[in-house]
């Protein structure tokens, strides 16, 4: 409760929630597009997969960062669900190809005019 009403009714909190669902939906759609292209073309979809991996993992970091912010001080206390998720999600931008490597793959494909998007 803040200023006599639940935090969820504060416009700025709702704005955070809106940005979080946009990131979440966009991540899902990028992954579905890559999977759909793989299923329907049967060929290599390296660029689309890199776009999905980069977009979804960067989005996940933004979403959990906002979640921690919304929880305030409780969000960084050991044992809090969002604190656990914050640490669990951070490595996603490192393993299975770091974000820098995904950008390298995507940028090279764009420069070569090879993207199918």
Binding to ligand FAD by residue 35, rule CB under 6 A? no
98 binds ligand FAD (CB under 6 A): yes
**Residue among 9, 83, 96, 100 flagged as catalytic:** 96
DSSP string, 71-104: HGGGGGSTT-HHHHHHHHHGGGGTSSS-HHHHHH
- Which tokens belong to 55? 């977009």
Q: Which of 9, 19, 25, 100 binds ligand FAD (CB under 6 A)?
A: 100
Is 95 a residue that touches ligand FAD (CB under 6 A)?
yes
Q: C-alpha distances in angstroms, 17 versus 9, 22, 28, 43?
A: 11, 9, 16, 37
Interaction between residue 88 and ligand FAD (CB under 6 A): no
Of the pair 20, 54, the CB lying nearest ligand FAD is at: 54
- CB contact at 8 A, 26 and 59: yes
57 with 92: CB under 8 angstroms? yes
Catalytic (active site) residue 96: yes
Query: Which residue from 44, 104, 114, 117 is in contact with ligand FAD, where contact means CB under 6 A?
Result: 104
Known catalytic residues are 96
Residues in touch with ligand FAD (CB under 6 A): 91, 94-95, 98, 100-101, 104
């Amino acid at each position: 409760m803040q200023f006599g009403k639940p935090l969820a009714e504060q416009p700025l909190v709702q704005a955070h929630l809106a940005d979080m669902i946009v990131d979440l939906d966009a991540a899902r759609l990028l992954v579905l597009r890559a999977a759909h292209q793989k299923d329907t073309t049967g060929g290599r979809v390296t660029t689309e997969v890199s776009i999905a991996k980069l977009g979804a993992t960067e989005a996940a970091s933004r979403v959990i960062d906002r979640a921690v912010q919304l929880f305030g001080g409780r969000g960084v206390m050991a044992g809090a669900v969002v604190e656990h998720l914050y640490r669990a999600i951070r490595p996603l931008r490192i393993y299975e190809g770091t974000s820098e490597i995904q950008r390298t793959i995507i940028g090279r494909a764009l420069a070569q005019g090879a993207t199918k998007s």
